[in-house]
Structure 1
Amino acid sequence: MSAKAGGCPGNLPAETTSFVGRRSELAETGRLLGVSRLVTLTGPGGVGKSRLALRAATMVRGLFRDGAWLVESAGVQDPSLLGHAVLEALGMTDSTTRQPAQTLVEQLADRELLLVLDGCEHLVDACAALVEALLRAVPGLRVLATSRQELRVQGEHLLVLAPLPVAEDGPVDGPVDGPVDGTAEVEDAVRLFADRAAAVPGGFRVTAENRAVVAAVCRRLDGIPLAVELAAGRLRALSVEQIAERLDDRFRLLTGGSRTALPRHRTLRTAIGWSHELCTPQERLLWARLSVFADGFDLDAAEYVCPGGGIEAEEVLEVLSELVAKSVVVREAGPGGARYRMLDTVREYGAWWLRSLGEESRMRRRHRDWYLGLATWGEVEWFSARQAETGDRTRLAHANLRAALDFCVSEPGEEQSALHLAGTLWFYWVGCGHLGEGRLWLDRALSLAHEPTPARAKALWVTGYMATLQGDLRHARPLLEECRQQAVDTGDDLALAYAVHRQGCAALIGDEPARAAELFEEALWHYEKLGELNSNVLMAMFELGLAAVFQGDTATGDLWMERVRDLCEEYGEQWAYAYGLYAMAYSEWQLGEVGSARAHARECVRLNHLFRDLVGVVLGLEMLALLATEPGADGSSGDLREARLLQGAAHRLWQAVGIPLFGSRNFRAPHDECTARAEAGLTEQESAEAFRLGTRLGLDAAVARALEGPAAAGKAEPPQRCALRGLGSTYDA
């Protein structure tokens, strides 16, 4: 978990448009959060549940020691991935074979935070089960959920969100221009229309002459915020009088003239449909096709996925801009440039049209192709100076990669694509801390396609490698042996090299360093023969050096580390280099070169934290804990309490990785030596207390402590929990 700029923990996005009205609802949300640990905002689609939840969370996040965190569950279609989405939103990783809920419980046990679970209705059972489990086990957790239906979890408090009130008939009270300062209960819908209309080119303003018509438009739309915003977006092409007239004609056809015959959920759908009809044919088509994106997307993705049959690639930007102007698509600025997204209700309408047009399968396939290309390019760029940017780009695409994988595992005939995509993403699953989810997708793909293809061979060694990192050798070894045998039978020399390499990894953590060295040497022979050079090859060199160090041959180990360092510098590679730094630190510890070992271990932690690679981070922490027990170069004695604190921090992180230190005697040697030294110099109570303080550190705080030393002490002992009494008074002004 990390803090945003300004030091406030959380990931709540900045508002891109002004927040209008809802003063009483904000106050009530705050009051409910003060008396209940689960508050669910319910109401029809488009009524503003998400906006209210985010505004309320932003206002109260300072009352939670560990901040407020948004989980956008709308982009998650598979219930089994909900826990992974929560972990990802919290900046955590789950690299174990357990259910993500178990990792969440362990990682959040002593946290105090607000979790905003947005868009639960399509996963209501999974959301309810996860929320109930977390609330039972995490006393400092409060949940603010949005859903079109209640979660039905014990202790849940509901706030049913109604549309914005609007005057029934006749003139609307309040000033003519600018924000309406009159009776808020009457004016909010009109104020929202005026606010959004002011952004339309030409600067529309509510005046004495048109405000009754504006009120009539808002009234016809039942004050549903999304519908009002869509109508305001039409002012680019229509006058407000034309909008009112066309809406009235459409609703009269549907209701036979009855003002009360149309339920609000149909009002929104009708309003969206009306907005859809007023779009040009190209805009309607692009709207439908963009619905295949599960989350945000950039222009390049839209220009690849959406052209054809009425839209040329060079026309996508212009048509997309029109949809942004009409409030159908939201444009957001990001570090990598502009990104776009659709509100869930608008996306659902587009998806309905996409199915009606018979284009769903074709668009989902094109969507899959784009993200397969993104994964393929990411695998290539992973071996370059752009590794960090590659990780960030893939992280932004995570929800869409899930959608692409879901298409592959659910669409008949796409089984090989499932293997290919899940296997190609090895750099993300392994290098960016998503071993748990990666195993899930790979296991599914392998269960669907048993034909001995190159895609299956790659999926086998990737899955075996990931199982090895989880300490799950019982599953890893059969997978790697199957890959090796298939490679021999089919003459796939590349798959053979990778299978042998990863068998070496299994031998290394299985405490067979001599056997591991033989396998690494064989794999490197194959790699060289094939001209293969990438991060995996560098890892084989590092692992061969570590196998030598484990056997006491530090000279050979150092030679391999020098080679890894030279190649990493040449190609700008940092991920494999970070692991090489661990091996250097291990070797230097054995040689008594404490200063160099400490510097290399810290850099190992820093680089692995950059990638969110927990395996590398926790190995570095274990080494730094041991080195904290060593006397300083200035003759100062070691800090045994700091050593135990770092061991406690590592212990907590191992819970999100798998078996501590892989269950390996060799990898565990620094840990055991550190423990022995601490127990010899500290009382049992002192040792236990320091360890306990370490277990209270999250990932970012643990890394800060490792890099800054005791100077980061403020991160080790969190402040006392703040009282939540009077939470609602935040809004009483």
Structure 2
Amino acid sequence: MNLRHALYELKKILGDYLSIGREQIQFLPQNDSWLDLEEFEQVLQRREKLKDSQEQLRCLEEAVALYRGRFLEGCYDDWVLVEQRRWNDLYLSTLSQLAESYAQLKEYAKALEQCRRVLEIEPWRENAHRQKMLYHYLVGETSEALDTYQHCVKTLKEHLGTEPSPETHKVYEQMRKHEVSTMLQASPNNLPKVSTHFIGRELEISEIKKLLATAQLVTLVGIGGAGKTRLALQTATELLGQYSDGVWWIDLAALSDPALVPQAMASVLSVQEVRSQSLTSALSDYLRSKQNLLVVDNCEHVLDACTQLIEALLRSCPRLHILATSREALGIAEEQIWPVPSMSLPVLDENSVSSPEEFILGLKRYDAVFLFVDRASLAWRHFELTREDAPFVIDVCRKLDGIPLAIELAAARMKLLPVEQILSRLNDLLQLLKDSSGMVVPRHQTLERMLDWSFDLLSDAEKTLLCRLSVFMGGWTLEAAESICADSIPPVGARSPRPYAIEKSETLDLLTQLADKSLVVVEESSDQRRYRLLETVRQYAQQKLREAGEAVALSVQHREYFLALSEEADSKINTVEQPFWLNSLKTEHDNLRKAMGSALDHKASDTALRLVGALGRFWEMQGFFSEGRRRAEEALTGMECAAVSLQARALQVAGILCVRLSDFPAARSYYERSLAFYQGLGNQRSVANLLNNLAILTQSQGNFSEAQYFYEKSLALRRQVGSQFEIFTSLHNLAILAYDQGDIRTAHRICEEALSIVRAIDNKYWLSQSLSTLGDIVRLQGNYELSRALLEESLAILQALESSKWGFTSVWANLGHLAYDQGDYESARSYYEKFLQSMQENDNKKEIASALYALGNVATQRSEYETARTLYRQSMELSQEIEDKPTIATLYSLLGHLALKGQNWREAHSLFAQSLTLAREMRNLRGVIISALWGSAKLRFLEERWPEAAKLLGACESLRETMGIVVPLNECPMYENIIASIKAHLSESNFAKAWAEGRVMTLEEAMALAVDER
């Protein structure tokens, strides 16, 4: 459409609303006029402020109805094309949101229609294919859903030359296996699995659910053994699906240090440590906008810490609900206290029914009787409740006040004793304790009596082992029990008879006997059997252990055992056995914490320092940065007389964790002290490791030349005295450094060498990190299929390892880069948001800035320019705060590209010039330079300075060839259109001449041309 015809059409349609002069055309708004574009934006902005989902839906429907086709259809000026893209993307995004809203209302036919409308406009929109697959499946059209996937595969191949993302393929696989309904209906949760039936309590559960519907905090209060944990678990299970962000179980029973309560919650929620704020604040930030139910079990022994944490969370998280269990109330104003009653008990009335069957059935309606019968049947499969033994069962349940744990312990004796003998022994014991001090409240006396009774029925060997097992926190293996609890232990200050000497060979039989009596819980897993004590039983047995005078000696044996375990794990955690040892340390984390606490409490300096040295890699890989640093610093305090080698390793661990917490000054101090110790010892291998640590530190601070020096010096030493793994880490780090400097060919070569080593030694965790690095390198080289394959392999390894969130961060970032380059901006945003969240949780300002500008790039591509500008500015503020010059240079260039979108050409020129000036100061950061040169070429094109644009594009091509990278796929259409347009304005010879001149320019010459204001 030419200008004359366009003016004629506009005048015909708009009439007096249009003012046409020599220099400009102006729309004259009047009271009866409105712009559909303005109304479209205003409707969507209004929706963002609404909370009612129905009102939000109506806004989406109104916005979609306003859209009548492409912006200025038929006009092809560059600025028009930009605006067309912006409004088109916004419309497609609105259709996608409308589809999701219909799906939430189960109006799948309407949801499918929105997906079809999206795909009619952009057939390559993968998210729309994914939505369409799901909605077909949910209306029972499985074949259509699977056909949609195949169509998606074909379309992406034809239009983009790519395969569907892992998310899309995962949905497809779930459909094939008919797992989608479960996936959609179940809330995220970590509720523990139990091996026995939950009995009764329907009324109690109903009341608790009603309380949770109106109160943020409900606390189940009762004595140990009252059934608080099982009642909370069953209630939470029945509430799955009502909390969109999940139902999470936080078990505090194994904690002895109140300071670790926030860490326990953070570990469950995968919230990482943050240096600049407390962990409580980090948890508040994470939960603030989420709809979660947290079940916090066993609060009583860390009551103050629980109260402080929960009170803080409730103040800042309006959608959070907490169900707590405790022996006493938390004392928070918002708390709804719900005392856990005893299980319902019958009154014997044999004349109330007409038959024995009805009588027995009537008794089983009482929870206490039903529980006894169920557990007695598990202990002795021949047991059945009869009219003859019913009175005894009723009396046992009544004597035990309907307390679940006591009933279960009594029922477990059915394997050895008939019910009438259980009752008689119970009667004798209760009579024996009736005249006790009276200092304990009756309900506590009831359970204590039950435990005393159960304990007195044990053999001497069983009693001794049960008491010794109380030394464990969070459970144990048979091997641990044999190593720590077997043999005779000299008693100190015993107030009870000398314990029985247990032979190692007896341990398994005794454990089995204790399990049969329900005093030890057996937990089966795929790789090993573990044992644990119920917390009430553990505390009771611990008191008996102290009375026997064995507590101190058992504590020493416990920490020595877990020290040996830690050191063996540390020696093998970077070998082919890594998954086994990493899982072992995760499983024994509570015991490791207890061992560390015991060493510090008893001033066992060498043991404490050795534990720090052995657990350093575990703390780093699992993201326990703050806890590990605190323990390292505690171990180093007042330990100047300890062995220098132990101090040196603990200092190194402290430095590594400080780097992860972005406390660079403290890290350097620790590293330099550690390096001095190792140099004094002549330990060249450890010196090489410290040099590598210092290189990582200086690279994090943007000092690439110093980092290069440290890496190369470390690598030279490691090639002489280091292991293959240590050589790998140096090479991998050098590859990342080359990447950061834009030397992609070198990065690829070094990374390939590093990858071959780590594959050979089969270190799974670091193999995943190396694959991620190489995947990002080949992305820049245009090999998208290989990039995806490498990143998916990395992701699969981390998932198999059940890695912490920290381990996934580089893969998320690199998958985001890949999706971005391929034009899948929705997937890119999703990955970048995960990356940003992880970095924010760790307060890594450098990477937070990177994540923010990556999200800004996505917003720019989606024509969300104000959002992009905000994200870029936030990134700039962080980068300037930490003086990260490479990122600052990158941001100047990105802001320049954004200025071009708004036709602010002078501002764009200034920003590109600032980017190039800073890149030159940083020794020619080629990745930054090529971005600024490409932006400057686009500017010259828009200014119709055709020869200069051609020269700059030629310089860009030459630089890309030197670096070994290609034009990203999502930029190819614009790149090719600009070249075609320049060729249309220059003769073939003039274009070839300008292009050739650009190709032979030096970097300095190309940058000088770009900043020239003529």
TM bucket (normalised to shorter chain) is 0.7 to 0.9
Post-superposition offset of 1:86: 0.9
Tell me which amino acid in the other structure corresponds to 1:99: S
For 1:573, which of 751, 763, 778 is the aligned residue? Answer: 763
For 2:367, which of 185, 188, 193 is the aligned residue? Answer: 188
Return 385-394 or 352-361, whichever deviates more.
385-394
Alignment check: 8 A CA contact 2:856 2:868 kept: no
Going from structure 1 to structure 2, the CA distance change for 1:14 and 1:608 (only over 3 Å counts) comes to closer
Q: 1:55-74 CA deviation, whole Å, 9 max, x = no partner?
A: 11111122111231111111
Mapped to 2, the partners of 1:123 and 1:299 lie a distance apart of: 29
Secondary structure of the 1:425 match is helix
Post-superposition offset of 1:328: 0.4
Tell me which amino acid in the other structure corresponds to 1:682: S
Alignment check: 8 A CA contact 2:621 2:806 kept: no
Mapped to 1, the partners of 2:836 and 2:440 lie a distance apart of: 61
Tell me which amino acid in the other structure corresponds to 2:362: G
Going from structure 1 to structure 2, the CA distance change for 1:111 and 1:690 (only over 3 Å counts) comes to farther
Higher relative contact order (CA 8 A, sep 6+): 1
Going from structure 1 to structure 2, the CA distance change for 1:206 and 1:589 (only over 3 Å counts) comes to closer
Mapped to 2, the partners of 1:72 and 1:179 lie a distance apart of: 40
Match of 1:726 in 2: none
Match of 2:833 in 1: 648
Secondary structure of the 2:432 match is helix
For 2:598, which of 403, 407, 413 is the aligned residue? Answer: 407
Match of 1:132 in 2: 311
Mapped to 1, the partners of 2:830 and 2:266 lie a distance apart of: 24
For 2:515, which of 307, 324, 346 is the aligned residue? Answer: 324
Mapped to 2, the partners of 1:261 and 1:439 lie a distance apart of: 42
Post-superposition offset of 1:465: 1.4
Match of 1:294 in 2: 473
Post-superposition offset of 1:325: 0.6
Mapped to 1, the partners of 2:807 and 2:787 lie a distance apart of: 15
Secondary structure of the 1:74 match is coil
Q: Size of the alignment, in residue pairs? A: 676
Post-superposition offset of 1:91: 4.2
Return 237-246 or 37-46, whichever deviates more.
237-246
- Residue segments in structure 2 that go unaligned for 5+ positions in a row: 1-173, 489-500, 873-1014
Alignment check: 8 A CA contact 1:470 1:662 kept: no
Mapped to 1, the partners of 2:778 and 2:858 lie a distance apart of: 19
Alignment check: 8 A CA contact 1:642 1:690 kept: no
Q: 1:582-620 CA deviation, whole Å, 9 max, x = no partner?
A: 433454455455554454445445544545344453233
Tell me which amino acid in the other structure corresponds to 1:182: G
Alignment check: 8 A CA contact 1:72 1:117 kept: yes
Alignment check: 8 A CA contact 2:360 2:386 kept: no
Secondary structure of the 1:199 match is helix
Mapped to 2, the partners of 1:154 and 1:287 lie a distance apart of: 40
TM-score by length of 2: 0.63
Match of 2:19 in 1: none
Q: How does 1:239-250 map to 2 (within 5 A)?
A: 239-250=418-429
Match of 1:228 in 2: 407
Going from structure 1 to structure 2, the CA distance change for 1:180 and 1:372 (only over 3 Å counts) comes to farther
Q: Is the counterpart of residue 486 in structure 1 residue 677 in structure 2?
A: yes
Return 159-168 or 301-310, whichever deviates more.
159-168
For 2:206, which of 27, 37, 40 is the aligned residue? Answer: 27
Q: Is the counterpart of residue 519 in structure 1 residue 698 in structure 2?
A: no
Post-superposition offset of 1:481: 0.4
Match of 2:986 in 1: none
Return 254-263 or 368-377, whichever deviates more.
254-263
Post-superposition offset of 1:501: 1.7
Give the aligned CA root-mean-square deviation in angstroms.
3.1
Tell me which amino acid in the other structure corresponds to 1:328: L
Q: Is the counterpart of residue 312 in structure 1 residue 503 in structure 2?
A: yes
Q: Is the counterpart of residue 659 in structure 1 residue 844 in structure 2?
A: yes
Q: Is the counterpart of residue 99 in structure 1 residue 265 in structure 2?
A: no
Alignment check: 8 A CA contact 2:226 2:403 kept: yes
Mapped to 2, the partners of 1:173 and 1:280 lie a distance apart of: 44
Mapped to 2, the partners of 1:257 and 1:626 lie a distance apart of: 72
Match of 1:546 in 2: 736
Q: Is the counterpart of residue 377 in structure 1 residue 556 in structure 2?
A: no
Post-superposition offset of 1:263: 0.8
Q: 1:200-226 CA deviation, whole Å, 9 max, x = no partner?
A: 235222222212122222222222111
Match of 1:623 in 2: 814
Alignment check: 8 A CA contact 1:94 1:100 kept: yes
Secondary structure of the 2:209 match is helix
Alignment check: 8 A CA contact 1:549 1:557 kept: yes
Mapped to 2, the partners of 1:327 and 1:283 lie a distance apart of: 13
Q: 1:434-474 CA deviation, whole Å, 9 max, x = no partner?
A: 22322222222222423352222111112211221232212
Alignment check: 8 A CA contact 1:416 1:456 kept: no
Alignment check: 8 A CA contact 2:368 2:404 kept: yes
Match of 1:716 in 2: none
Mapped to 2, the partners of 1:440 and 1:97 lie a distance apart of: 15
Q: Is the counterpart of residue 438 in structure 1 residue 628 in structure 2?
A: yes
Secondary structure of the 1:449 match is coil
Q: 1:106-137 CA deviation, whole Å, 9 max, x = no partner?
A: 22222212111000001111111111111222
Tell me which amino acid in the other structure corresponds to 1:143: I
Q: 1:391-430 CA deviation, whole Å, 9 max, x = no partner?
A: 3332222222211221122122x12212211221223212
Work out the percentage of aligned pairs sharing the same amino acid. Answer: 31
Mapped to 1, the partners of 2:759 and 2:303 lie a distance apart of: 50
Q: Is the counterpart of residue 510 in structure 1 residue 690 in structure 2?
A: no
Tell me which amino acid in the other structure corresponds to 1:423: G
Secondary structure of the 2:530 match is strand
Secondary structure of the 1:519 match is helix
Secondary structure of the 2:361 match is coil
Mapped to 2, the partners of 1:383 and 1:259 lie a distance apart of: 58
Mapped to 1, the partners of 2:458 and 2:585 lie a distance apart of: 33
Q: Is the counterpart of residue 450 in structure 1 residue 640 in structure 2?
A: yes
Post-superposition offset of 1:279: 0.2
Post-superposition offset of 1:688: 8.8
Going from structure 1 to structure 2, the CA distance change for 1:180 and 1:10 (only over 3 Å counts) comes to farther
Alignment check: 8 A CA contact 1:292 1:364 kept: yes
Going from structure 1 to structure 2, the CA distance change for 1:53 and 1:681 (only over 3 Å counts) comes to closer
Q: 1:14-51 CA deviation, whole Å, 9 max, x = no partner?
A: 22112222222111111111121111000111111111
Mapped to 2, the partners of 1:611 and 1:97 lie a distance apart of: 28
Tell me which amino acid in the other structure corresponds to 1:443: E
For 2:249, which of 70, 77, 85 is the aligned residue? Answer: 70
Secondary structure of the 1:206 match is coil
Tell me which amino acid in the other structure corresponds to 2:856: T
Alignment check: 8 A CA contact 2:671 2:694 kept: yes
Mapped to 2, the partners of 1:688 and 1:165 lie a distance apart of: 64
Mapped to 2, the partners of 1:55 and 1:677 lie a distance apart of: 44
Mapped to 2, the partners of 1:608 and 1:335 lie a distance apart of: 19
Return 451-460 or 356-365, whichever deviates more.
451-460
Post-superposition offset of 1:272: 0.1
Mapped to 2, the partners of 1:558 and 1:179 lie a distance apart of: 80
Going from structure 1 to structure 2, the CA distance change for 1:392 and 1:245 (only over 3 Å counts) comes to same
Mapped to 2, the partners of 1:110 and 1:419 lie a distance apart of: 41
Return 206-215 or 148-157, whichever deviates more.
206-215
Mapped to 2, the partners of 1:172 and 1:334 lie a distance apart of: 50
Between Structure 1 and Structure 2, which shows a larger proportion of helix residues?
2
Going from structure 1 to structure 2, the CA distance change for 1:179 and 1:200 (only over 3 Å counts) comes to farther
Post-superposition offset of 1:52: 0.5
Return 593-602 or 216-225, whichever deviates more.
593-602
Match of 2:616 in 1: 426
Secondary structure of the 1:94 match is coil
Q: Is the counterpart of residue 237 in structure 1 residue 427 in structure 2?
A: no
Match of 1:683 in 2: 864
Post-superposition offset of 1:92: 4.2
Alignment check: 8 A CA contact 2:272 2:838 kept: no
Secondary structure of the 1:431 match is helix
Going from structure 1 to structure 2, the CA distance change for 1:674 and 1:182 (only over 3 Å counts) comes to closer
Match of 1:355 in 2: 546
Mapped to 1, the partners of 2:560 and 2:356 lie a distance apart of: 52
- Higher-Rg member (1/2): 2
